[in-house]
Structure 1
């Protein structure tokens, strides 16, 4: 049995498809209101803040994937993520499940230095501090030998379906609707984005590779990093017309945040768009050299052509 916690998000949905294709049909999907991806999926409703419900949800699982996402709400993150991580660690230890944690890069330094699995955490802002805290909770358990686990880390998403990210909503989603893209902060810094189906396929592969455990892995991305200007040029070629764009400065987000709480939550992330973002996934590609990575050109073409 392989179990996805936080099963309604795009990452978990793609993960479920990959497990069903290549690993097993014995899949359990857990969330407050889980939805089946395949007829054979087992659905379990649970609140991961409840230790008993979490234990019941993972019982009998060989591998548990923690893919929970929360809305961009710092107070909610501070309140809920540590409780969820604590419960998941406890019940995976109780039931002797292997744990695969889907992590992000919020806790990394806000610099242009290449990010590797050894990059130290330097969290700035409440969401970054929460992510650093819950990841450290798991790393401590892994280091103590209390839990068989691994960490999959991904940069910003782009991709099909219900993929949520600043880039997807402000750039590619608008192009697909025939609207002018809005570029956050700078069109001239290099970005590392991960195609969501690639992230999920890589997570399924790692979760079913015994020697991948007790490690952190950067999930695979196209190493030919483009600027937003370059991405929009690729989109222009795909749709056969020149696409203009508008760069949205930090001040505009700050003003918008005075009226819109969601925009206010985004402000913490904006310093990461002022310089290159170089997320290095060479460790993964060295271990799995035949893993097919979707190029930015392939992904962008799929998104804007619809």
Structure 2
């Protein structure tokens, strides 16, 4: 049996579709869980509750931590360490392996490609939290109290990825007949992980005993994509003339006074003002798979749902 802690997000749904290839028992755990597969078991639990988390993990061989918390640095600092501690304790108690699906915030600004050996050097409050909980997890692995791994992804794009930057700034605007937007420097390289590739990576790695005790980068295209190139491809596929509006930092700061998510994103602007290169060679070689090309992924993202 395998359990998804923090189910129902875009990667969680994609992961759930793949797990029946590895197990005949998938348990979805969330505050309001829903079925992806007809045979899914649903468990209602708050991952901030240690007892509820332990009960949710009981009987599982592998647990995938895909929780999403409110995008607020104070909330993250308070709740992420508690969620991670509860997941670690629950899995250790029940002899369950743990796969943590993470982002790249802990690395901070990196000159050159981000790899699994890139040191943690966060330059944001959210990055500090991510570095703390990732270290917490791998310290348990080093002590031998837990079998676990971290699978990281770059920023998302893909079908149903409604919380991604490109959904609001490109996909939805093109569907509405409006000009796409971007933030930061549209000519800077910015790698994106296709959500089905992220889920495929998590599912396959989580079911490989030799993958544990390590950090992995989810399958991601090697192409040096820029915001401008992403928008050009999207416009072409949508049958729209190319156009791009770039919001300057001062405008985003002003808008952030009224839109909390924009205010919270200001500390992450370094990711869009400088090259952001994410390397997944390790996973590609281990799994013998290639990431979805951007053109194919953008076409699927734009397709009617």
- TM-score band w.r.t. shorter chain: over 0.9
Deviation at residue 292 of structure 1 after TM alignment: 4.2
**Is 111-120 or 276-285 further displaced after alignment?**
111-120
1:241 is displaced (CA, Å) by 3.1
Partners of 2:160 and 2:301 within 8 A in 1: no
Q: CA deviation at 1:300?
A: 1.1
Decide whether the 8 Å contact of 2:29 with 2:56 is kept in 1.
yes
C-alpha distance in structure 1 between counterparts of 2:97 and 2:293, whole Å: 31
* Matched length: 304
Q: Which residue of 2 aligns with 1:300?
A: 298
Counterpart of 1:54 in structure 2 is 53
Q: 1:249, CA displacement in angstroms? A: 1.4
> In 2, distance between residues paired with 1:41 and 1:208?
18
Give the Cα–Cα distance (whole angstroms) in 1 for the partners of residues 240 and 115 of structure 2: 38
Shift of 1:296: 0.5
Structure 1, unaligned runs of 5 or more: none
**2:278 & 2:90 partners in 1: Cα distance?**
32
1:181-192 map, 5 Å: 181-192=180-191
Is the 2:61–2:97 contact (alpha carbons within 8 Å) kept by the matching residues of 1?
yes
3-state SS of the aligned residue for 1:150? strand
TM-score normalized by structure 1? 0.96
Question: Is the Cα–Cα contact under 8 Å of residues 219 and 284 in structure 1 kept in the other structure?
Answer: yes
Report matched runs for 1:63-102 at 5 Å.
63-102=62-101
Q: Secondary structure at the match of 2:43?
A: strand
| Cα distance in 2 for residues equivalent to 1:127 and 1:280 | 22
> Any unmatched runs of 5+ in structure 2?
none
SS in 2 for 1:13: helix
- Structure 1 segments of 4 or more deviating over 4 A? none
List per-residue Cα deviations over 1:134-184 (Å, max 9, x = no partner). Answer: 111001111111100111001100011144222222122322332211111
Task: Give the equivalent residue in structure 2 for 1:2.
Answer: 2
Task: Give me the whole-angstrom Cα distance separating, in 2, the residues matched to 1:239 and 1:47.
Answer: 41
Alignment of 1:1-306 (within 5 A): 1-20=1-20, 22-289=21-288, 291-306=289-304
